[in-house]
Amino acid sequence: MLMRTDPFRELDRLTQQLLNTTGTWSRPSTMPMDAYREGEEYVIALDLPGVAKDAIDIDVERNMLTVKAERRPVPRADDVQMELSERPLGVFSRQLVLADTLDTERIQADYEAGVLTLRIPIAERAKPRKVSIGGGSAHREINS
């Protein structure tokens, strides 16, 4: 149902983890995800812990699904002295090419416990169906 478009994206993600770089709007970090079919819909689950719901943007243009999110720093008092900071901040993005067999007009999005879940129904035209056999002649005579 998904088509991979950038074979080096996973390498970029691993490099960002090792170098502990933050994403920017021009060069966002990736977000971990799972994608699977469940019954008559395709499910995509993206990990976005610590991201506010209003900081998530989901766009669909033709068959390209784009999810962008920004994890902003938590405001702290002036007298707070940070001892350890490992949670990445910045912009995260994921682009997926969706197959024509998915109904992109009816995508549902839920965000709970730091996980963005997108449910995309399988298009009616992609579901298996029976074809009835009609009566009549197998040949038609063509007159010139």
pLDDT, tens digit (0-9, with 9 covering 90-100), for 8-47: 666 665 665 565 555 554 556 778 899 999 999 999 999 9
Return the pLDDT at 2.
60
Cα gap 121→38, rounded to integer Å: 10
- Give residues with Cβ within 8 angstroms of 87, minimum separation 6: 50, 71
Q: Environment class of residue 124 by beta-carbon count within 10 Å: exposed (0-12), middle (13-18) or buried (19+)?
A: exposed
CA neighbor of 42 nearest in space, from 34, 30, 53, 50:
34
Return the pLDDT at 76.
87
Return the pLDDT at 132.
85
CB–CB of 41/8 below 8 Å?
A: no
pLDDT average per 10 residues of sequence, the chain (144 residues): 60 60 60 92 94 95 92 86 80 91 94 97 80 73 57
Q: What is the pTM of this model?
A: 0.69
Return the pLDDT at 21.
54
User: Could you tell me how many helices (H) and strands (E) the chain has, helices first?
Assistant: 1, 8
CA gyration radius, the chain: 23
Return the pLDDT at 53.
94
